[in-house]
Chains A and B, each alone.
Chain A
């Protein structure tokens, strides 16, 4: 048996829509196999993981809380990936953004007025953007591989947070626990609804709409696309590759930083040694599952948020490790990438002996 790819004359529109659905379906089947391998009833496992959270008001709200940072980070990443810049250090930009956003409430806890929160968010955006600009500048100036440098900065960012929370930023009245002081009300995202849901969700929605408009209606959006698909053509049109790299990294770092600040000031209310369950990495999956398209990312964000909550759910009810979330997330990305092949190619599985002996 051999697999042959036959190039389609043009992109299959049908497959563009169908491929993520197919990927989700394949993930469900694999998840069922995983559940039965763990000795559980697969139907019950799938139900508890994917369906039950949708019928419970608490977990629905939690779904929104978790989808918010994922969507926000993924939106920024999609801009990078569309222009062929591989920022995979969003986790670090999220953390550094959160650190910078927490600067005001921790260092000047008495600065409490209407400006506190907006300033915090601005600091967070600036912090994330600066952290992202390091690999961008290195790439533009020295053509240093941005994949590796942005990823290395994730470890550095996490260690920086660890240092601050255990060292100079530790709450002096906190019984030596590694955590910062709790933020004042003026430094906390206003909540909507009754749980942990804050105005972070509507802010994210606005960002998505703006991004969709910029990408589809403006020259900048066109530039991002052209430089991704055909950098030579773009350079003839007068677009600068280096400047665009800086721009897209700043955008995605800024959004990750914003997400980080909104997470600490909305959900956690203080800095802790670990503030993210890998949002920055999961957002990469969100970006791809969402076809690097703002609306697609919005939907994909909920799918991945569900995988976090489902993991917690099966851990509580079936006693399966919540690590199953990461397994399902990784598998989902695999399937998405595999199914995307169907957009550009037809897959032909042949048994033809002649080609088999010839091409082997």
Chain B
């Protein structure tokens, strides 16, 4: 029983983890992309459509990434090269994504989906308890684990990460040193988009293998909150994502047990938990100020 719950927690946490990691990189470069929800839902619908038309889950996941990247490039172009307001542009990306996905997805409502196959890791999956929970998952769960390692390594152990953080903390100095602020940021935005798209693809290919309108149900926004929760540190994103995965799964189980609490109250728990977590984190000024990218949300127009 406990093992089964843990399994579902991981599945519920994976899309949050992937999307939040992508957004973390974006925000570390100094850009706030509020369009995560829009990119995620586009990833979900395009991934589902591609998997359905080609019959391959892998191609579905790749298409989901591509959809997220396309959406992100739209955002990046406006925010970076036209210096538009980041909050408003991110919002419009979400509105556009929700509309566009609804239109594309109309042909796929009620169509049975394709579930990503389980991929057992040899040897490791035989370990009692740990094996079934961590090493008998679908491929995207491993991709999420790998992304955590990759992002923490690149951000804090490589020159590339140093440049990225420099651009996010002080774009004036980074520019003076000869780094192309806009190009670094654009690449970061594309990476974030790819992650959000993949997270959406996970929703429609593994979490609930079908297309339902607005199926991301605010997870993109929760991913944004997770980045704040993690105070921009990748390892803490993991903790946050699993915490939220656990909350989601517990509400499911509570509903199934029928413990007399209206289901709507249980469904609202993840959203209320998000607010609570944000309050707890932001009330602690010291914790947030240390890692907040200093140029977060500030537009940069190079003068030459």
Chain A residues engaging chain B, CB cutoff 8 angstroms: 3, 5, 7, 86, 88, 138, 142-145, 147-149, 151-153, 155-156, 159-160, 162-163, 167, 281, 284-285, 288, 321, 323-331, 333-334, 337-338, 340-341, 344-345, 347, 355, 359-360
B301 touches A5 (CB 8 A): yes
In this complex, the member of A138, A344, A360 whose beta carbon has the largest number of chain B beta carbons within 10 angstroms is A138
A359 touches B262 (CB 8 A): no
Interface positions, chain B 217-273, Cβ under 8 Å from A, are 217-218, 221, 224-225, 228, 262, 264-265, 267-268, 271-272
Complex CA gap A345/B268 in Å reads 44
Complex CA gap A340/B272 in Å reads 36
Give the Cβ gap from B10 to chain A, nearest Cβ, in Å. Answer: 23
Identify the closest chain A residue to B224 (Cβ).
A148
Given contacts A145-B225, A153-B271, A326-B103, 13 further A-B contacts (CB under 8 A): A3-B81, A138-B275, A147-B87, A148-B225, A151-B221, A167-B262, A323-B103, A333-B92, A338-B82, A338-B84, A341-B83, A344-B83, A359-B304
In the complex, what residues of A have CB within 8 A of residue B278's CB? 138, 144-145, 148-149
B279 touches A326 (CB 8 A): no
* Cβ contact of A340, chosen from B84, B106, B265, B279, cutoff 8 A: B84
In the complex, what residues of B have CB within 8 A of residue A159's CB? 264-265, 267-268
Q: Does B85 contact A (CB under 8 A)?
A: yes
Give the Cβ gap from B259 to chain A, nearest Cβ, in Å. Answer: 16
A152 touches B97 (CB 8 A): no
A327 touches B100 (CB 8 A): yes
A144 touches B95 (CB 8 A): no
Interface positions, chain B 92-126, Cβ under 8 Å from A, are 92-93, 95-100, 102-103, 106
Given A325-B99, A334-B92, A337-B89, the answer on whether A7 and B301 have CB atoms closer than 8 Å is yes
* Cβ contact of B279, chosen from A138, A323, A347, cutoff 8 A: A138
Complex CA gap A156/B87 in Å reads 22
Identify the closest chain B residue to A157 (Cβ).
B268
A162 touches B279 (CB 8 A): no
- B263-304 vs A: 1/0 string, CB under 8 Å? 011011001101100110011010000000000000001111
Q: Does B180 contact A (CB under 8 A)?
A: yes
Give the Cβ gap from B123 to chain A, nearest Cβ, in Å. Answer: 42
In the complex, what residues of A have CB within 8 A of residue B301's CB? 5, 7, 345
* Cβ contact of B274, chosen from A148, A285, A325, A328, cutoff 8 A: A148
B98 touches A326 (CB 8 A): yes
A330 touches B95 (CB 8 A): yes
Q: Does B62 contact A (CB under 8 A)?
A: no
In the complex, what residues of A have CB within 8 A of residue B275's CB? 138, 144, 148-149, 152-153
Complex CA gap A148/B228 in Å reads 10
Given A148-B274, A153-B275, the answer on whether A327 and B99 have CB atoms closer than 8 Å is yes
Give me the 7 closest cross-chain CB pairs, A-B, nearest first: A326-B99, A330-B96, A333-B92, A163-B264, A323-B102, A330-B95, A323-B103
A156 touches B272 (CB 8 A): yes
Where chain A touches its partner, the secondary structure class is helix
* Cβ contact of A329, chosen from B99, B302, B303, cutoff 8 A: B99
B91 touches A355 (CB 8 A): no
In the complex, what residues of A have CB within 8 A of residue B85's CB? 337
Give the Cβ gap from A38 to chain B, nearest Cβ, in Å. Answer: 9
In the complex, what residues of B have CB within 8 A of residue A325's CB? 99
Give the Cβ gap from A332 to chain B, nearest Cβ, in Å. Answer: 9
Q: Does B74 contact A (CB under 8 A)?
A: yes
Give the Cβ gap from A88 to chain B, nearest Cβ, in Å. Answer: 6
* Cβ contact of B218, chosen from A88, A152, A329, cutoff 8 A: A152
Identify the closest chain A residue to B107 (Cβ).
A321
In the complex, what residues of A have CB within 8 A of residue B103's CB? 321, 323-324, 326-327
Give the Cβ gap from B284 to chain A, nearest Cβ, in Å. Answer: 9
Complex CA gap A347/B40 in Å reads 32
What total of A-B pairs shows CB separation below 8 Å? 144
Q: Does B34 contact A (CB under 8 A)?
A: yes
Complex CA gap A142/B96 in Å reads 32
Given A138-B279, A330-B96, A345-B83, the answer on whether A155 and B89 have CB atoms closer than 8 Å is no
A326 touches B262 (CB 8 A): no
Complex CA gap A142/B277 in Å reads 12
In the complex, what residues of A have CB within 8 A of residue B84's CB? 337-338, 340-341
In the complex, what residues of A have CB within 8 A of residue B102's CB? 321, 323, 326
Q: Does B50 contact A (CB under 8 A)?
A: no
Identify the closest chain A residue to B105 (Cβ).
A323
In the complex, what residues of A have CB within 8 A of residue B96's CB? 326-327, 330-331, 333-334
A142 touches B283 (CB 8 A): yes
- B61-100 vs A: 1/0 string, CB under 8 Å? 0000000000000100010011111011101110111111
Given A145-B228, A152-B271, A345-B301, the answer on whether A162 and B88 have CB atoms closer than 8 Å is no
Identify the closest chain B residue to A287 (Cβ).
B88
A86 touches B87 (CB 8 A): yes
Give the Cβ gap from A9 to chain B, nearest Cβ, in Å. Answer: 14
In the complex, what residues of A have CB within 8 A of residue B99's CB? 323-330
Given A138-B279, A333-B95, the answer on whether A152 and B221 have CB atoms closer than 8 Å is yes
In the complex, what residues of B have CB within 8 A of residue A143's CB? 282, 285
Name 30 A/B residue pairs within 8 A (Cβ), A-sorted.
A7-B301, A86-B87, A142-B279, A148-B221, A148-B278, A149-B274, A149-B275, A152-B221, A155-B271, A156-B271, A159-B264, A167-B262, A284-B88, A325-B99, A326-B96, A326-B98, A326-B100, A326-B102, A327-B96, A327-B100, A330-B97, A330-B99, A330-B100, A333-B88, A333-B96, A334-B74, A334-B92, A337-B82, A341-B82, A341-B83
